[in-house]
């Protein structure tokens, strides 16, 4: 396949995506080899179809008519793209996990994640991204995103700060189907976390 054809296919894929969508070169790997994809990304960057977030991470430009300016990439999307780029499994942790579940309304100063990859720290558009290696693989690998973020949010809160109010709030954040999956997926995590998850997932008696 010639480069102009590849370039046209990449343009179409980007055009069909929502503004602000974050891409990595591997997202186009079905179209050509890495060398051609890299060359095409450079061309798309030059023509303004893509913006560079950081090395190896790009986004479809997003413009705010209210602010009358371009808007930076969404932090969660960038984090997921970085993880995808390196083949890591990640889950929000610390204040990021609390924010994802609405347990904190404060926008994280640093996007924090636990990862099965190495400890890494990045910065893009003035935002810091911190990936901490964890040896607690049963709290990360093979879990749905809902289960993983709940585990990390509970760990961030701490056992002593989780009461009836927090449990009631979290009960309402997940569907019955999600709770059923959580009970199966999380049974081998730290015992105090699993006991709280059981409370969150307990069916209410009529």
Q: What is the pLDDT of residue 31?
A: 94
Query: What architecture does CATH give domain 3-62?
Result: Orthogonal Bundle (1.10)
Q: What is d(CA 83, CA 59) in angstroms, rounded to the nearest whole number? A: 15
Predicted pLDDT at 203: 77
Looking at residue 21, its pLDDT comes to: 96
Per-residue pLDDT reduced to its tens digit, 45-83: 999 999 999 999 999 999 888 877 888 889 999 999 999
**Comparison of pLDDT for 98 and 72, the residue scoring more:** 98
Q: Are 151 and 189 in contact (CB under 8 A)?
A: yes
pLDDT in tens, 151-171: 999 999 999 999 999 999 999
pLDDT at 106: 82
Question: Has residue 36 got a pLDDT over 60?
Answer: yes
pLDDT of 3 above 80: no
Bridge partners of 52, per DSSP, are 58
Contact 201, 168 (CB under 8 A): no
DSSP, res 20: T
Question: Strands, DSSP E only, in the chain?
Answer: 22-23, 51-54, 57-59, 63-64, 69-70, 90-92, 110-115, 120-124, 127-133
Average pLDDT over residues 20-48: 95
Please compute the mean of the pLDDT values over residues 98-121 and round it to a whole number.
92
pLDDT at 205 over 60: no
Average pLDDT, the chain: 93
Domain segments of the chain: what residues?
Answer: 3-62, 75-201
pLDDT of residue 204: 62
Q: Is 148 exposed, middle or buried (0-12, 13-18, 19+ CB in 10 A)?
A: buried
Q: What is the pLDDT of residue 206?
A: 46
Distance between CA 7 and CA 68 in Å, rounded?
Answer: 30
**Given pLDDT bands bounded at 50, 70 and 90, which one contains residue 108?**
confident
Which residue in 170, 200, 161, 169 sits closest to 183, CA to CA?
Answer: 200
């Amino acid at each position: 396949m010639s480069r102009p054809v590849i370039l046209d296919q990449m343009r179409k894929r980007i055009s069909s995506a929502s503004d602000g969508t974050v891409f990595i070169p591997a997202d186009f790997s079905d179209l050509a080899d890495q060398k051609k994809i890299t060359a095409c990304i450079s061309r798309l960057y030059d023509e303004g179809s893509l913006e560079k977030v950081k090395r190896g991470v790009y986004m479809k430009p997003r413009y705010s008519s209210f602010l009358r300016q371009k808007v930076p990439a969404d932090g969660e999307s960038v984090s997921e793209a970085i993880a995808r780029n390196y083949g890591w499994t990640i889950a929000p942790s610390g204040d990021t996990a609390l924010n994802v579940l609405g347990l904190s309304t404060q926008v994280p100063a640093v996007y924090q994640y636990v990862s099965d990859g190495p400890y890494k720290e990045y910065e893009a558009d003035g935002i810091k991204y911190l990936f901490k290696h964890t040896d607690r693989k049963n709290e990360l690998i093979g879990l749905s995103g809902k289960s993983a973020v709940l585990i990390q949010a509970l760990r961030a809160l701490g056992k002593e700060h989780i009461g009836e109010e927090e449990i009631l709030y979290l009960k309402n954040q997940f569907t019955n189907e999600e709770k059923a999956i959580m009970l199966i997926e999380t049974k081998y995590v730290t015992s105090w976390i699993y006991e709280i998850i059981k409370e969150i997932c307990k069916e209410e008696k009529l």
